[in-house]
Structure 1
Amino acid sequence: MDIKDIKCEKNLLNKLFLIFLLILLSITLIIEFFSNNSKYSIHTKRQHIDEYTKNVDKINNNYIHKRGNNNNENITIKGLFGTSLPGITNATIEKELFEKLLEEWAPENLANYKSITFELTYANTSVQETDYEKILTQLLNGKSSKYDFFMIDCIWTGRYAEHLLNLQGKINSESVKKHNQINLNTCKHENKLKALPLFSDYGILLYRKDLLEKYKKRVPLTWDELENTTLYIIEKEKENGNKELEGFAGQFKSYEGLTCNIYEWIYSYRDNLDTKIDYFNDKFSLTALKKLISFLDKSVISNEALIYDESHSLERWEKGNVLFLRNWPSSIQGTIKSFNITGISFPFGVAKLPGKKKGFSASTLGGWNIGVSKYSKKPFIAAKVVEFLSGEYVQKQRALNFGLLPTIKSLYYGN
C-alpha cells in the first residue's frame, strides 16, 4: 500500500466518523426534543386537571354552602290568579283557603328553609277572562319574574308554552297520573308538560225551580221545550207585574265563552255520537245556528244577553232575573254564596243542557290549569307548590268549599 492509498483511506475514515457524529447529534437532539415536549405536555395536562379540580371543588363548596344555609334562607313564592268563582265580587274566600292549605303544607314539605312566605295575587275579581289574559300576557311577554306560578285557562297552554317551565322530571310522576287524561292533555304542548290541572268545567243548565213548579212545567230536555216553556212563563210573569225576567242566558259576548256556547249548540244537533261536524258548512251547524238566532228574534234570549260573559250572566241570574242559565258548575256554589251575601234567594235546580232531541245534548269541556313561569328565580320550589295546589287534597277542599270539579278521578268515588 503506497502513501497515496493510505491518505485516501484516512480521509474516508474521517468522513465516516464525521457522519457518525452528525447522526449521533441528530439522535440526541430528537430525544431531547421529545423528552422536553413530553414534559411540557404532562405539565400542561396537570395544570388543566388542577384547574378543573379547583373549579369542581369551588362548585361543590358553593353547593354545600348553599345547602347548609338553607335553614337560614327566607323564601317568598308568588302566584297570580284570576278567581275561579264567577259572581263573587271578592276573591278573599278563595285566597284564604289557598293560603291556609299552603301554610299547613310548607313546614313539612319545604323544611330546608327558615321560612316560606306565599303571596297570592288575584288580578281580577269578576272572572272576566279577557282582562286577566291581558295582564298575564303583558307580564309574560315582558319576561317578568314577579310571579313564580300562575293560573291559566286550559286553552291557553299552547299560547303561553314558551313562557312555561317544563314540569317533567321536576315533580312526582305518580301525582301526574292521578289526573283525568283528558284534562291532562290540555296541560301539554309538543309532548312537554307545561302545567297541571287545577279544576275541570263543563256547561250545565241552571233553572228556576220555583217558577217551573208554579206553572207546572218540567225541566226542558230539548231546545224546543225550552223555547215554549220560556215564552209561556215570561208572558205569565209579565201579567203578574214581573217585567225583568229574561228567558235563557248564556255567554254570548264576543270572546271564547261565545265559542263554547256555539259549539254546544252545534254538537247538540247531531244525529248521533258518530256524526261528523263540518263547522258552519253542514246541515247540523246551520240548523243549530238558525235555532239560536230564532231565540233572539222571539226574545227567548234578550238583546242585553249579547254582552254577557260568565260573571254578567250569573249576576243577572243571582238577582232572580233569568229563568234558564247556561254556565259552569262553579256557578252553583257562586249562587249559594251570593244568596248569603245579598239576602236574595230562590229555589233552583241543575240539569244537562238541552239538545235537538231528548237524551242527546253536548257540553264544552273547560277548566283551568296552573303552571310555573320560566322566569321564576325559584322554579323547583314553585314546581312543588304547583304540584301541591293541583293535588288530591287541595282539589277535594276546593270541591267541598266552592263546588269546583276535581280533575283527579279518585275524588269522584271516595268519601
Structure 2
Amino acid sequence: MFSYRQVRRGLAALALMWAAGAASGTEITIACGSVGTDIEVCRKLMDEWSAKTGNKVRIFLTPNSTTDQLALYRQQFGAHSGEVDVLMVDIVWPGIIKEHLLDLTPYAQGVQRQHFAAIIANNTVGGKLLAMPWFTDAGLLFYRKDLLEKYHEKVPATWEELAATAQRIQDAERRAGKRDLYGYVFEGKAYEGLSCNALEWIASYGGGTVVEPDGRISIDNARAAQALDMAARWPGTIAPKNVVSFAEEEARSVFQGGNAVFMRNWSYVWDLAQQGDSKIKGAVGMAALPRGEGGKSVSTLGGWQLAVSKYSKHPAEAADLVMFLTSKEMQKKRALLAGSLPTYPALYSDQQLLRAAPYMAQLSTAFASATARPSTVTADKYNAVSSALWNAAQATLAGRASGAQSVHQLEKELRRVRRGAAW
C-alpha cells in the first residue's frame, strides 16, 4: 500500500515530468525544398514559429529532382510513415496523392480566400483543401544583358530568334577565347522539368496541351511535332550535348557561372544570380519565354504548396506550422529573402516588396500566358502522363526519333494509360 504522502509525491513528480515535456515542445519534421536557398530560408522562417510556439522543427532533406521527391513520398505513404509531418508538394501533386493528405479547411479558417483562386482550386480535391500555396512560379527566360548589348541584339521574341542570337553570340565569344560558352541551357533531363519545357514548346507552337481540359488527347499533331523538332536542333549546337542530363540546378550552374547566353528556368534563379559570388551579378535580364512560329509565348505554371501528411502524429501542430509559413507576412519575408513569388494578389502592390524585387513587375506577361499541366483532368494518372511526355521529348532531343514519330507514339502511350473513354 502507498501512503497518501507517497501518492502526492508521485503525482508531483509526474506533473514535473509533464511540464518538462511541454516546455521542450513538440518536434515537427518538414520537407521544405532542396534547390537554391530553400533550406536556408525555410530554417529562418521556422525559427520564428519555434520562438512563437515553443515547438521544434527538424528539416527532412529530399532529392533535387521533383520526380524523385514524389517517389520518396509515395514510399513513405505506402508504409503509413509519420516520419515527415509537413510536405512541400508540387502544384501537380494534390490530385495524385490526395488520399494521403490532411484536409486543412478547419485550420485555414477562410484565409484561403485571400490567395490566388486558381491555385486554391488546384489544391482542393473532392471539397478538401489538401495544401496551402507557399509560392507560385512560371517558366521564364533569363539572358545576359551585357552580351546582348555587346552584340547589339534584342531579347528574342521567337524560338527561332533565340536560336539565331544564341548561335551568333556563342560563335563570336568562342572565337574570342570563351570556349566554354553556350548559347542556351534548359532542363533536358528525363523528369518533370522536361515535361514543363516540352509543354511550353508545344503549346507555344499551337500544338495544344497534350491532354486538353475536356480529357481529349491532342498531342499527335503537326504543330506539336514541329515544336519538338525545333528543340532537337539545340543539343550539340547552341546547347551542350549533355543538356539532356540537366535539371534546374545544372542549368543554373552553367548560366550563373557565366557560361550561357540564355537559360530557361524558374524565378528563384534571379535572387541567386545577384549574390556576391555570382559571376553574372548585375548582368542578368528576365523575360517571358519566346513564342513559337505563328503561336504565342507560353509558360508552364509552377509553384509549391505545403501539406500535412495524414500519418503525422502531430497533425494540429503540423497544420499550425503550415498556416504560419504560408501566411501573408511569411510569404512577404520569403519573397524578400529568396525572390519567390507570393500567392497573395495583395502583395503584388506592396511597395516595400516592389522596391526590393522590381523584377516582379516584369512577370505579368508570363503569368498571363501561363498554362497548367494536365494534372487536374488526368488526376492520379498524371505521373504516368508526364513520364510518357518527358520520355517522348527526350527521345526527340537525343535524336532517337523525329518529332512526328514521338508525338504519334506518345498519343498511343497516353491512350494505353487512360484505358478507356475517360480519365
Normalising TM by the smaller chain, what interval?
0.7 to 0.9
Contact 1:80-1:123 within 8 A present in 2 as well: no
Matched, 1:218 2:157: no
- Match of residue 342 from structure 2: 406
* Cα shift at 1:367: 0.8
CA 230–193 in structure 1, closer or farther in 2 if over 3 Å, else same: same
TM-score by length of 2: 0.72
CA 312–104 in structure 1, closer or farther in 2 if over 3 Å, else same: same
- Match of residue 79 from structure 1: 29
Aligned AA for 2:50?
Answer: E
Contact 1:165-1:194 within 8 A present in 2 as well: yes
Picking from 214, 222, 225, the partner of 1:286 is 225
Q: Distance in 1 between matches of 2:346 and 2:304?
A: 19
- Match of residue 46 from structure 2: 99
Matched, 1:360 2:296: yes
Picking from 235, 253, 273, the partner of 2:189 is 253
Aligned AA for 2:70?
Answer: E
Picking from 220, 241, 245, the partner of 1:303 is 241
Aligned AA for 2:116?
Answer: N
Q: Distance in 2 between matches of 1:355 and 1:378?
A: 48
Q: Distance in 2 between matches of 1:308 and 1:221?
A: 24
Aligned AA for 2:277?
Answer: I
* Cα shift at 1:391: 1.3
* Cα shift at 1:294: 2.6
- Match of residue 330 from structure 1: 268
- Give a deviation string over 1:290-314, Cα, whole Å, max 9, x none: 21123337x1232111110111111
Q: Distance in 2 between matches of 1:409 and 1:187?
A: 17
* Cα shift at 1:177: 0.6
CA 371–254 in structure 1, closer or farther in 2 if over 3 Å, else same: same
- Match of residue 40 from structure 1: none
Matched, 1:117 2:56: yes
Trace 1:4-403 onto structure 2 (pairs within 5 A).
73=22, 74-83=24-33, 85-86=35-36, 92-106=39-53, 115-124=54-63, 127-173=64-110, 175-270=111-206, 279-296=218-235, 299-337=237-275, 340-341=276-277, 345=281, 347-356=283-292, 360-403=296-339
Contact 1:221-1:357 within 8 A present in 2 as well: no
* Cα shift at 1:70: 8.4
Q: Distance in 1 between matches of 2:307 and 2:323?
A: 9
TM-score by length of 1: 0.73
* Cα shift at 1:382: 1.6
Q: Distance in 2 between matches of 1:213 and 1:384?
A: 49
* Cα shift at 1:183: 1.3
* Cα shift at 1:101: 2.6
Q: Distance in 1 between matches of 2:194 and 2:224?
A: 15
CA 185–70 in structure 1, closer or farther in 2 if over 3 Å, else same: farther
Aligned AA for 1:376?
Answer: S
Aligned AA for 1:283?
Answer: A
Q: Distance in 2 between matches of 1:248 and 1:333?
A: 20
Q: Distance in 2 between matches of 1:72 and 1:205?
A: 51
- Give a deviation string over 1:44-76, Cα, whole Å, max 9, x none: xxxxxxxxxxxxxxxxxxxxxx9xx88972432
Contact 1:85-1:402 within 8 A present in 2 as well: no
* Cα shift at 1:192: 1.4
* Cα shift at 1:187: 1.4
- Give a deviation string over 1:100-136, Cα, whole Å, max 9, x none: 3313543xxxxxxxx4222233334xx3223333332
CA 409–345 in structure 1, closer or farther in 2 if over 3 Å, else same: closer
Contact 2:140-2:286 within 8 A present in 1 as well: yes
Q: Secondary structure of the equivalent of 1:367? A: strand
Contact 1:203-1:363 within 8 A present in 2 as well: yes
5+ residue gaps, structure 1, are 1-65, 107-114
Aligned AA for 2:241?
Answer: N
Contact 2:142-2:265 within 8 A present in 1 as well: yes
Q: Distance in 2 between matches of 1:399 and 1:345?
A: 19
- Match of residue 361 from structure 2: none
Aligned AA for 1:306?
Answer: V
Give the fraction of aligned pairs with identical amino acids, expressed as a percent.
Answer: 31
- Give a deviation string over 1:240-274, Cα, whole Å, max 9, x none: 0111111111111101111100110111112999x
Aligned AA for 2:83?
Answer: K
Aligned AA for 2:258?
Answer: G
- Structure number with greater Rg is 1
CA 278–378 in structure 1, closer or farther in 2 if over 3 Å, else same: closer
